[in-house]
Structure 1
């Protein structure tokens, strides 16, 4: 990737993170910190919105990216070999960001109900 493309991608990612915090959405750091809490709440049976099949999909995707065994090997077809890994990483990242945002919303609503406030 060219240096100018990396800089543009970095700037776009920073803008997305910064704009999300300005719009009242959780930051990427807050979502990353929520991941262990989300999994813990799911294991304790408190958070039912995260299905077992999604957890399995996340683990399979993570194993695929980390594994040295590849569907399309980089050695034989370099562009497509990297593209499948990038596609899986993008999907996994987007899915985890979405799930953690829903979890943070669930936590906020749960806290509001505990305090006796009505959430609209």
Structure 2
């Protein structure tokens, strides 16, 4: 059940990002620049994303490998559909994981971009 929830969260994050934006103000550049830090902190054992990063890496290797040509050779539509599904999952998982990492990096708070103005709520 846990895997299904994680898959669902990854696809939901992708759908939300494609349709309405990511739901927060995290830009593509912020996500891209966070990826090397995320990998480094994961490999050093500071961040707990090793399993998710390994799954994303394995899916990427599969899509890029010659083994992925077998379904296309025999079942053209199925082979292309599996690529679309896997690439969509990779994109959603990366969106979800970079959101999670940036939140972890900020001490559990959502990442903030732009200018912060001091003020009082009346």
TM-score by length of 1: 0.65
Alignment of 1:1-120 (within 5 A): 13=18, 16-17=20-21, 20=22, 24-48=24-48, 50=49, 52-70=50-68, 73-109=71-107
Name structure 1 gaps, 5 residues minimum. Answer: 1-11, 112-120
Identify the structure with bigger relative contact order (alpha carbons < 8 Å, sequence gap 6+).
Answer: 2
Deviation at 1:87, TM superposition (A): 0.6
Moved over 4 A (4+): none
**TM-score normalised by L of structure 2:** 0.64
Total equivalences in the alignment: 93
Q: What is the CA-CA distance between 1:41 and the residue it aligns to?
A: 1.0
Contact 1:58 1:92 in 2 (8 A): yes
